[in-house]
Structure 1
Amino acid sequence: MTWRADEAPGIRFRQRGDRKTESLDITTYGRNAIRDAVGHTVGSLDIDLESVAAAAIYQPDGKLPYRASRDLPIDNQAVQAGTVVDRIGDAGAATVPIGLLFALADDTADLSVAAFFGGGGTASALACSGNLQAKGLADLDDGEVLPYAEYLRKRGYVVSGDVAGGVRTSVSRTGDDRSTNDTGLSPAAVPTVTASRSRLRGPARSVTPGSSSSGLRPPDQGRFGR
């Protein structure tokens, strides 16, 4: 097992208890920092990397594992064997261990690698030989497949409903304070309201539910889409 602790401020991270990940959203900077950290830790393992049959690489999305391992002599087939984010979604710090369990469950993979990356530039890697059958892996493929908009509603990021006047609204909430007022929105949240006009005529207008009897507010405070 190998470790690397380096300073890379602003890389995507999520503190314990936080609902959202934070970052500077500088993609090139982030990808380079992750690729350098993963390459250093995996490259420092005392193994023949060309013999790796499965690799579970840091995977907040389905593309980054391949980019992070680009400088390593590990083929894409091995990376695919340890990539599960495209099947179970981003499970945070648990995604790589789950990918490693899937890799170890493959009887044809004699040598597996896992590479972890944490906020601030910290990374670690380990190598495993042999196989391991873990219970519950098959259940992960039995989940319900949802459209992204429905996922947002189930997680509470978006709420939908009908309001007076025939305008269907979809309100995005930000902030963790979910206490509500007479509008049904969190006081700490800054909502973005998207409405489609189903029974009213005329151009789309910006609205805030409960803001006034007319339901109108200045256009610069919201966005409207058909």
Structure 2
Amino acid sequence: MTASVQKRLLVAGPKGGIGKTTLARNIAVAAALDGLAVATLDLDAQRSLTKWYGKRPVDMTPITHYEGEMVVEDVQDAMAGISGFDLVVIDTPPSIEDHPEAFRVLVAAADLILVPTGQSDDDLDSVRPWMRFIRKTSTDAAFILNRVNPRTRSFTEAKSILVSDGRVCPIEIPAYDDVAATSSYGIGILELKGAKGREYVAGVWNFTRAELGIGGPA
């Protein structure tokens, strides 16, 4: 099963340590497992996504990878040159607001922006104004609560606060070790049999797929 039109998913936020790369790679894997032709684009100078891809076993579900710099010329070239896929997942650097011109190019090309966030006050103080800014661009966007403890009061309060600034994915990703550990093996959580957290990542992918208008697996 493939989509008829290439979709671009932008994973972006102003704060480091909120799991942008983890989210990007797990969504890419989930999409590939559903039979989509998937590419990833790493625009973060730390190259975490690229390092993950370099560890990826050759017998896993195929994903094509690209990398570039968060500068206008590189972003424009990538948006024009990466084609022929069902989904392109784009990982961005922290402090993305420091690259306004390149970000504008990305937003103009994106079909959906996911903004991962934790549940702490520091996280919320960072991502809430960022989402308000994104909404002014008229590009579809949603918060993803990531690396959280859903059983705490602060999680419930965070979710209640976030809905005042934008849509929130109804499925969160708890802070399970298995989700982070897959980075060491170049795989996604859905490729690790019996891993804790698989169902949450699958739920986030189902939400993302629906938002992008991509049909389910055949």
Range class of TM-score, shorter chain: under 0.3
- Per chain length, whose mean CA-contact separation is higher, i.e. which structure has more relative contact order (CA < 8 Å, sep 6+)? 2
User: What TM-score do the two structures reach when normalised by structure 2?
Assistant: 0.27
User: What TM-score do the two structures reach when normalised by structure 1?
Assistant: 0.26
Higher helix share: 2
